[in-house]
Amino acid sequence: MPLRKDDPRSVGGYKLVDRLGAGGMGAVYRGRSRSGREVAVKVVHAQYAEDPVFRSRFRQEVEAARRVSGAFTAPVVDADPEAARPWMATQYVAGRSLADRLRDRGPVRGVELRRLALGLVEALRDIHRAGVVHRDLKPANVLIAEDGPRVIDFGISRAAENHHTLTETGQMIGTPPFMSPEQFTDARTVGPPSDVFSLGALLVYCVTGRGPFDADSPYLTAYRVVHHEPVLDGVGGPLRTVLERCLHKEAAHRPELDQLAQELATALPEPAAGDPAVYESPEDDPRTMGLRGEAWPAGAATGQGADFDRTTGTGSGRRRGRGRGRVRGRRTLWTAVGTVGALTLGLLGYIRFGPGFPDDSRTASSSSASRWAAVPTGWRAWQTTVYKPADRGEVKALGSAAEGQSDCLSQGASVYCGGHGVLPVRLDGRTGRTLWRAGLAAPGDDPTQYDSWVLGVYDGIVLVRETITEEGAADNPTHIVALDATSGSQLWSRKVNDENVDLIMAGDVVLTAESDGRTVTARSPRTGEARWAMTLPARDYCTFLSAGTDLYAQCFPTEQNAKYSALLQLDRADGTVLARRQIPFESGFLGVVDGHPAMVLADEESGSTSLQDSTFAKILLTDPTTGGQTTTKLAKTYQGSVTLASDTLWITGANGEVAAVSPLTGKELWHTRTSVENSGSPTYDSRTHTLYLASPSGRVAALDTRKGTLLWETAPRVGTASTDDASDPKALLYGGVVTVMTPDGTLFSLDPAHPERKSGPG
C-alpha cells in the first residue's frame, strides 16, 4: 500500500517505501537501508510513545526479542525504544501469511504440511531457547516464505494493545481457538508446553479448516478448550495420534519439541521420488483428490488472518475479494474484550518475556550470573530416594539401597525409575514426592533376584523390562510390562526372549523379542498390538538404537574372531531393512552426524565395543547413499565414555577429565579437568549451552559447552559410592532445573543458578 500523507518518510536511517499494515499499537512499513537491505519497520503510535509504562515495557521486549533468532523466525535487525516514537526493524520476509494461504487455497497436505509442521517446531525451539513463550501462535502470525515458514510477532505489538486490558496479576489475552487451557485458567503457569498446544490446534486447522474446539463465540470456545476433548474429524493415521498428544489438557503430558519433531517426521514422511517439493494448490496434489470442496467448511479459512499488526512485512498486501466481509465479522467477534472470571479475550496475545514463566521468575541473559532458565512453577529443591513410601500402588519398597541399583529417566515434570531390586516408581519432578510404585512383585520376592528397568515413556504409558531370577532355574522369565503413567497400574504384559537382542523404546513403538529369540516385533505401547516384525541375522547379537527419526540395529556375530559387525538401517513404519553396512567388529554406534551414521572405533587391544570406558582414537562415518566409509583420526587417543550430541563428541574420563571433539575433523575443541570422577555419559542442554556431569557420589559439575569453562561444582551428596554398579549416574533435565540420579537410588533436584541451595526431603 502507498504511504499516506501523515506517514513518516524515514525512520532511524531507513527510507520507508510502502505501508504494509497497521494495528492498535502502530503501523508497519517496508523500509530500505542505505545499502539496499529491505526491512519491516514497526513505528509506535504517538499516544503510546508518551506513556512511560508502555515505553519501559517496549524497551524490555525489544531487548528480549533480539534473542529470538533462527531459520524460521524473522530476527530483529535494529531498534530504538528511546526515540520520540519508538520503532523496531526486523528482517523483511517476502511472503504472505498462512491465514491468507489457507483462505485462498484451502487445506495444507502432503509435502507442504510436513515442511510447515517441522518448520514451526524448529521456530518454537529457537523461541523457547531464547527464554520466550510465544502465547499467540496462529495462522496470522506465520509467514510463508520460499524456504519455509516464519513465526512473527513476539509480543512487541501486544504491549500497547494490552496496556489497558492486561492487569498486573497476569490476566492473559490471546486468540481463543489457539489458546491452551492454562492460558484461560491460570496465565501465570503458562510455559513452553502452551505453544505446543497452540501448534497442535493450528495444524488441525490447516488440515481440516476447523479448529479442534471451534464454537459460536469466544466464550464457548474457551470453555471447550478447558473442558472438552478436541474434535479431530478429518485428521487420521499417525498424525492424529501426534496431535492428540499436543492437545493434552495437562501441560506435562504434551511432547517436548525435540520429541515432537521426531514424531511429526515419522507421521509426515518424506515425499516419494518424483514428488514436487511443494504443491502450489490442492488440485495439484494427488493426495487430496476427492477432497476438493469437502475439507473446508463455508468461511472456515477466513477467520484467523485479518490482523495487519505485524512485526514483519509480507508481499501480499491487503486482502481482496469475496472473503473480506466475513473476515471483518469474525475479527470483530474475536477482538471483543470481556471477562470470564479472570479471563480477558482478544485477538492479539501478550507474550511475557524473560524465560516465559511467571513474572516473579528470574530472567535469562548473556551474563554468567543469569544465564540459566527460570525454574518451573511449583518447583523447590528436593532430595529423596527410590525407596521412599509411595502415595499409591505398592507403598513400601521391595528392597533397600544396600541391595539394589537404580536407573531413571525423565519426561516432562515426572521422573520414572526402576533397577535391580527396585519396583518401578514415578516421582514428581517439582517436589520429589513418590506418586506411585507399581505392584509387580509377589509377596516375599527376594529383591536381589528382581529387576525392572524402565525402557521409556510414550503417550502416557511406561514400558518396563522385568526379570525375576530363580536360583537353579533353567529359564528366568523376562517380560515387557506396560504401566499406566498416571496410576502405575499394569495394562499389559508379554513374555520375551531377549537373549540375542537389547530391547528399546523407539519413538512410538516398543521392540520386543519373541520366544524364538530371533524375531523382533514392534508393538504399540498402549495396547501391545504388533505393528511389524523382522528376523535377526542368524547367530548374531543385535543392539537396536534410535537416532533422531532413524532406527538402526548393530548386529555382532557370536562366533570367535569375528572381524566385522553389521549396521542395519530400518524403516520405522514396517521394519524393512533400508541399508546394510559392514563395519569393524570393535565399534560402537554413536548416532548421526550431518546425515552420516557415526561409529566410534575401539582400540583393537582393548577389544571393547561399548561406548563406556573404552579406548578409542578414530571415528567412522558412513555415507547414507553410497555406503562409502570415511575414517577420522582423533587428535589423540581417549579413554572413557563418549556421547554424541549437537554434532560434537563429549568425552568423559574416569578421572574427571572432559573433552569436546569434532567428529568430522577429529580436532579437540577444548579440554577441562573436573572433580567429577566415574561420571559416565554427560548430559547436554542445548538451551543454555551447558554440559552436566554427575558422579556416583552425587557430585555435580556444569561446563559451558562453547569454551569448556567450568561453571560450578557441588559437593558429594551420598558419601562413598561403589563404581561397579549396573547403571551410571545421570543428570536429567526438566525445565530450568537439573535432577540427578545416583546408582544407589538417591535423587535430588537443583537449580543451576544456585546449585548448593539446601534441598528438602522429597
The pLDDT tens digits of the residues spanning 301-340 come to: 333 332 323 333 333 332 223 232 322 222 222 222 222 2
Given a cut of 70, whether residue 51 has pLDDT beyond it is yes
Task: Please give the average per-residue pLDDT across 498-518, as a whole number.
Answer: 88
Q: How would residue 287 be classed by pLDDT, with cut points 50, 70 and 90?
A: very low
Task: Please give the average per-residue pLDDT across 540-545, as a whole number.
Answer: 90
CA proximity to 137, closest of 58, 62, 195, 66? 195
Q: What long-range pairs does 670-674 form, CB within 8 A, spacing at least 24?
A: 670/707, 670/708, 671/708, 672/703, 672/708, 672/709, 672/710, 674/701, 674/703, 674/710, 674/713
Amino acid symbol at 214: D
CA proximity to 368, closest of 732, 710, 740? 710
Q: How would residue 350 be classed by pLDDT, with cut points 50, 70 and 90?
A: very low
Task: Please give the average per-residue pLDDT across 544-554, as a whole number.
Answer: 86
Helix (H) or strand (E) holding 678: none
| pTM attached to this predicted model | 0.55
Name the domain count of the chain: 1
- Residue 427's pLDDT is what? 97
Given a cut of 80, whether residue 529 has pLDDT beyond it is yes
324/522: higher pLDDT: 522
Residues forming a β-bridge with 532: 522
Task: Please give the average per-residue pLDDT across 424-441, as a whole number.
Answer: 94
Decide: 663 and 619 in contact? Cβ < 8 Å.
yes
Give the CA distances from residue 450 to residues 403, 453, 471, 478, 733, in Å, rounded to whole numbers and listed in that order: 11, 10, 12, 10, 28
Is 195 a member of any domain? yes
User: Does residue 668 sit in helix, strand or coil?
Assistant: strand
Given a cut of 70, whether residue 168 has pLDDT beyond it is no
CA proximity to 702, closest of 663, 735, 675, 680? 675
Please give the share of the chain, as a percent, with pLDDT higher than 90: 40
- Residue 165's pLDDT is what? 35
The Cα–Cα gap between 110 and 99 comes to: 18
Q: How would residue 726 be classed by pLDDT, with cut points 50, 70 and 90?
A: low
Q: How would residue 761 be classed by pLDDT, with cut points 50, 70 and 90?
A: low
The pLDDT tens digits of the residues spanning 396-420 come to: 998 887 777 899 999 989 999 999 9
Given a cut of 70, whether residue 32 has pLDDT beyond it is yes
Q: How would residue 240 be classed by pLDDT, with cut points 50, 70 and 90?
A: very high
Query: 48-57, 107-116, 562-571, 682-691: which has the minimum mean pLDDT?
Result: 48-57
Task: Please give the average per-residue pLDDT across 55-79, as a whole number.
Answer: 74
Is 70 a member of any domain? yes
Task: Please give the average per-residue pLDDT across 527-537, as a whole number.
Answer: 92
Mean predicted lDDT score pLDDT of the chain: 78
Task: Please give the average per-residue pLDDT across 484-497, as a whole number.
Answer: 94
Task: Please give the average per-residue pLDDT across 544-551, as a whole number.
Answer: 83
Given a cut of 80, whether residue 156 has pLDDT beyond it is no
Is 426 a member of any domain? no
Task: Please give the average per-residue pLDDT across 93-113, as a whole number.
Answer: 87
Is 597 a member of any domain? no
The pLDDT tens digits of the residues spanning 205-226 come to: 999 988 999 887 788 888 899 9
3-state secondary structure 455-516: EEEECCEEEEEEEECCCCCCCCCEEEEEEECCCCCEEEEEEECCCCEECCEECCEEEEECCC
Is 193 a member of any domain? yes
- Residue 135's pLDDT is what? 84
Is 616 a member of any domain? no
CA proximity to 668, closest of 621, 619, 597? 619
- Residue 472's pLDDT is what? 59
243/106: higher pLDDT: 243
Q: What is the DSSP string of 543-601?
A: EEEEETTEEEEEEEE-STT--EEEEEEE-TTT--EEEEEEEESSEEEEEEETTEEEEEE
- Residue 523's pLDDT is what? 94
Given a cut of 50, whether residue 727 has pLDDT beyond it is yes
- Residue 96's pLDDT is what? 83
Residue 672: how many other CB atoms lie within 10 Å: 17
- Residue 250's pLDDT is what? 93
Q: Which residues are catalytic?
A: 136
Cα-based torsion angle of the residue sequence 322, 323, 326, 328 in order, rounded to the nearest 10 degrees: -100
Residues forming a β-bridge with 579: 569
Domain that holds residue 272: 50-75+91-362
Is 59 a member of any domain? yes
Given a cut of 60, whether residue 546 has pLDDT beyond it is yes
Q: At 228, which CATH number?
A: 1.10.510.10
Count of residues in the chain: 762
The pLDDT tens digits of the residues spanning 14-31 come to: 999 988 877 666 788 899
- Residue 284's pLDDT is what? 33
- Residue 433's pLDDT is what? 96
Residue 199: how many other CB atoms lie within 10 Å: 26
Is 357 a member of any domain? yes
Q: How would residue 170 be classed by pLDDT, with cut points 50, 70 and 90?
A: very low
77/368: higher pLDDT: 77
Given a cut of 60, whether residue 48 has pLDDT beyond it is yes
- Residue 474's pLDDT is what? 59
Give the CA distances from residue 352 to residues 63, 168, 372, in Å, rounded to whole numbers and listed in that order: 13, 12, 17
Decide: 483 and 489 in contact? Cβ < 8 Å.
yes
Q: How would residue 758 be classed by pLDDT, with cut points 50, 70 and 90?
A: low
372/341: higher pLDDT: 372
